[in-house]
Amino acid sequence: MLARRDPYQLPGPTAPRRRPPRRDGRPSVGALTSPDISTPRPEDPVAATGPLHPLTNRERNQQLRTYDSHVKGGFDKIVDVLKRISALQHEQGFEQKAQALALDALGFPLPEHILARAWVTQLDMRSLFAWCVFETYKRTSAAFFTSNPLGGQEDTAFDAFIRECGFHLLDVSPCADGRLAHAISYALRLPFSSVRRRPYAGAMFDVERTVARWIKTEHRRHREGVPNQAHEDTRYLKVVIYHFSSLDPGHQGCAAHGSNDAQAARSGLNRLHDFRQAVENSFCCGASVTLLLLGLDTDTDAIRIHVPTADGATNPDHWLDAREVYGQTVAMAPEAAREVIGERVRQDTGGSIEEGMVRFISQLLENNISQIDFVRQFHNGAYGDAGHAERFIGVGIGFKEIHLRNLTYFAHMETVEEGATDLDVGIRIFKGLNISRGLPVPVVIRYDFHSSVPGSRERAVRSCERIAAAVHGRYRTLSRQGLLHTLLTVRDGDHYKPPEVLGSSLQSPVVEVH
Ligand SMILES: [Zn+2]
């Protein structure tokens, strides 16, 4: 006998996506354990109203806002449309009416085989929801590669800029938390194609894999002179972005570090040191890397920069706060503001800093000023979704096209064993976001491959299938209840084109691992 799938209907209007009430900008009473200079206060230098900063790129802010609203709007209207369709299911001509409504409101038709079964039992809303999330993801992904909503795929001016600053590769590990998914393109305003991004829970990146990437990078410099000649005096720059919440530090910080931002910063710095030591121990004198530790306030998107000294020392307990820099320069002309920013960076280490690093950090601060204004312009100074509000989990390696805050929780992994902890955190987050509302957890599995490497695509396909089976096996109960669905995708990293969809758990029963 088939297990009866309750509830055939989506939750009522009493279960909205979690949106904490708008805060007044003051820290929660008793939430602070230590003084925190980034905590907004009544005399906050960055008020939610007032003119924008002279260095803010207004046009770019508007473009980024339009893209963010368009994509998230596509995901967020799914529940309402499905509720309207659910209400029609016993009417004459249901399938035609449902398709017309879906096409009109969502822009795509629904799978006929699910609609056709509605008269026998009832409409399978869980499958329909997962199907709509996957369809919206596919369309978002395809549009990213075909219409370049965040700008072109290459930015040679930026590549030249980082080389002038003394770096030949920018490798960034933010936390996998969806509130940092926009860190590169929004918070730091860096061209995504010029940055290697590898998110990990707690920003605890894999040292061995990063060393392997470093070797590959240096090897290419020797063999091909790409991105520059090996004899040029530039370094591999490894950046960690941890995060914290200025408005609710005890609850909305990094889950992987127990919402303790001092611990998040120290752990990030330790991991950076491990990486540098691994390179130096393995490749002798002269072989080294540059390290940079950043913190991101997930309420305001303002960054903290732990400015390193010329000899590579970083203090996890001291930082330069972009909000302070904003407040100090908001009334200046653009050129004067730039000068002051550069001077602040130099002073932060008592003058012991390489000039290339001053230029790079100053640019990060200037870019972040635009993002601080973005949050002021469109989110009243602090995001309404202070906590998790991701729309799907992304598992695997890739997702070059995901650059929006709270769209995706990343679980970066090659095997489920190595990524189990990250994935468990993701499932726990979605128990609160979706399962509590009777909705399934949508998991997009993705493996990138290189068509220039023989057999690479086949290996990526096998990885996808293996991970899908392992995910359904690990969360078997959810899977059997129709509360977990997977979409399998691969993408050719040698070409700038959308991922290829291999299939999903909605099409055929997924083989369980026993
Ligand atoms: Zn985190």
Q: Which residues are within 8 A (CB) of 355 and not within 5 positions of it... i.e. 6 or more apart? A: none
By DSSP bridging, strand 484-492 and strand 441-449 are parallel
- Residue ranges in 238-320 assigned as alpha helix (H): 261-283
Which range among 15-29, 308-322, 382-396 has the greatest average pLDDT? 308-322
pLDDT tier at 16 (50, 70, 90 boundaries)? very low
Please tell me the predicted confidence (pLDDT) of residue 270: 98
284-318 per-position pLDDT tens digit: 766 679 999 999 999 999 999 999 999 899 999 99
How far is it, in rounded angstroms, from Cα 449 to Cα 397? 9
Please tell me the predicted confidence (pLDDT) of residue 464: 95
Q: Which two tokens stand for residue 251?
A: 């609850």
Rounded to the nearest angstrom, the distance between the alpha carbon of 244 and the centre of ligand 1 is 8
pLDDT tier at 509 (50, 70, 90 boundaries)? very low
The dihedrals phi and psi of 300, each to the nearest 5 degrees, come to: -115, -10
Q: What does DSSP assign to residue 298?
A: T
Residues 260-265 have a mean pLDDT of 96
By DSSP bridging, strand 320-321 and strand 392-397 are unpaired
Q: Which of 79, 15, 83, 117 is nearest to 506 (CA)?
A: 117
Rounded to the nearest angstrom, the distance between the alpha carbon of 257 and the centre of ligand 1 is 7
How far is it, in rounded angstroms, from Cα 15 to Cα 504? 27
* Percent of the chain's residues with pLDDT above 90: 70
How far is it, in rounded angstroms, from Cα 237 to Cα 361? 12
Residues 409-421 have a mean pLDDT of 80
Rounded to the nearest angstrom, the distance between the alpha carbon of 253 and the centre of ligand 1 is 7
Note whether 444 and 395 are within 8 A (CB): yes
Please tell me the predicted confidence (pLDDT) of residue 359: 97
How far is it, in rounded angstroms, from Cα 484 to Cα 392? 11
Q: For residue 174, what are the β-bridge partners?
A: 241
Identity at 110, one-letter amino acid code? L
Beta strands across the sheet bearing 484-492: 408-412, 392-397, 441-449, 484-492, 500-504
Q: Strand, helix or coil at 346?
A: helix
- Residue ranges in 38-179 assigned as alpha helix (H): 58-76, 78-86, 94-105, 112-116, 125-147, 156-164
- Please classify residue 120 by burial: count the beta carbons closer than 10 Å to its beta carbon, then call 0-12 exposed, 13-18 middle and 19+ buried: exposed
Q: Which two tokens stand for residue 7?
A: 């509830």
Question: Is the per-residue pLDDT at 49 higher than 80?
Answer: no
Note whether 276 and 291 are within 8 A (CB): yes
Of 64-68, 210-214, 404-408, 510-514, which range is least confident? Answer: 510-514
pLDDT tier at 256 (50, 70, 90 boundaries)? confident
pLDDT tier at 23 (50, 70, 90 boundaries)? very low
Mean pLDDT computed over every residue of the chain: 87
Rounded to the nearest angstrom, the distance between the alpha carbon of 56 and the centre of ligand 1 is 27
Identity at 173, one-letter amino acid code? S
Secondary structure of 15-48 in HEC code, one letter for each residue: CCCCCCCCCCCCCCCCCCCCCCCCCCCCCCCCCC
Residues 454-479 have a mean pLDDT of 96
How far is it, in rounded angstroms, from Cα 381 to Cα 109? 38
194-231 per-position pLDDT tens digit: 999 988 889 999 999 999 999 999 999 999 998 899 88
Known catalytic residues? Answer: 177
177-190 per-position pLDDT tens digit: 899 999 999 999 99
pLDDT tier at 411 (50, 70, 90 boundaries)? confident
Q: Where is 375: in which H helix or E strand? A: helix 355-379
Please tell me the predicted confidence (pLDDT) of residue 285: 60
Please tell me the predicted confidence (pLDDT) of residue 286: 62
pLDDT tier at 43 (50, 70, 90 boundaries)? low
Please tell me the predicted confidence (pLDDT) of residue 153: 65
* Percent of the chain's residues with pLDDT above 70: 89
Residues 441-470 have a mean pLDDT of 96
Q: Which of 101, 105, 102, 110 is nearest to 131 (CA)?
A: 110
Rounded to the nearest angstrom, the distance between the alpha carbon of 340 and the centre of ligand 1 is 32
One-character DSSP codes across 451-487 = TTSTTHHHHHHHHHHHHHHHHHHHTHHHHHTT-EEEE
Question: Is the per-residue pLDDT at 504 higher than 90?
Answer: yes
Please tell me the predicted confidence (pLDDT) of residue 152: 64
Rounded to the nearest angstrom, the distance between the alpha carbon of 484 and the centre of ligand 1 is 23
Note whether 235 and 229 are within 8 A (CB): no
Rounded to the nearest angstrom, the distance between the alpha carbon of 203 and the centre of ligand 1 is 7
Q: Which residues are within 8 A (CB) of 36 and not within 5 positions of it... i.e. 6 or more apart? A: 27, 246, 249, 261
Rounded to the nearest angstrom, the distance between the alpha carbon of 496 and the centre of ligand 1 is 30
Residues 477-504 have a mean pLDDT of 95
How far is it, in rounded angstroms, from Cα 8 to Cα 128? 10
486-499 per-position pLDDT tens digit: 999 999 999 989 99
Dihedral over Cα of 443, 203, 72, 148: its sign = negative
Q: Residue 57 — left, alpha, or beta (φ > 0 → left; ψ -120 to 50 → alpha)? A: beta
Extract the runs of DSSP E, i.e. beta strands, from 44-175.
167-174
